[in-house]
Amino acid sequence: MPNHEDWKLLLRRSFGIPDLIDDGVANRSLQEQASKSIPIPAMTHDPLEDAKQWPTIVDAIIYKVRDCGERGQLDEYLLGMDGATLEKTADEISAAILPRVAEEGEVARRVLVSVRRFVMSHPFRDEGGYFGALDSAEPE
């Protein structure tokens, strides 16, 4: 069963963040990429307060994706099984995040699509924990 570190690494790699990058920088990059070009939602009557809250909400969505992945709750979506649609899966993830704003669903969809794309192109790991595509050649 995948653990926290497996999913942390999978999320980083799915957004093209190299393994050698410091966790703090990697987390900020993941947050930025997951919410890039999504307007900051109006959650309060103060745009500055909204801008402060938004990164925390994006982090909560990323954490929820990782948590669901660790528990195997994303397996059916990642395999493209009947009934496990992007919309349904993203809605289930964003439903757990407060305050509820439509932009949360967009962030969840972006993260899920990125992870699924990476998993489909790199479905297996070797003994060292490295993901490799089905058709990848052995290093010489």
pLDDT band at 134 (very low <50, low <70, confident <90, very high): very low
Average pLDDT over residues 50-57: 88
pLDDT digits (tens, 9 = 90+) for 59-103: 999 999 999 999 999 999 998 888 899 999 999 898 888 777 888
C-alpha span between 9 and 21 (Å, rounded): 11
pTM of the model: 0.81
Token digits of residue 7: 């999913």
- Decide: helix, strand or coil at residue 18: coil
pLDDT digits (tens, 9 = 90+) for 102-130: 888 999 999 999 999 998 888 776 565 55
* pLDDT number for residue 97: 81
Number of Cβ atoms within 10 Å of the Cβ of 97 = 20
Location of structure tokens 């479905």 = 123
Closest listed residue to residue 68, CA positions, set 135, 136, 117, 116? 116
C-alpha span between 27 and 9 (Å, rounded): 11
**Residue 100 DSSP code:** -
- Decide: helix, strand or coil at residue 133: coil
Which helix (H) or strand (E) segment holds residue 27: the answer is helix 23-35
Which helix (H) or strand (E) segment holds residue 4: the answer is helix 4-14
Which helix (H) or strand (E) segment holds residue 124: the answer is strand 124-125
Q: Is the pLDDT of residue 43 over 80?
A: yes
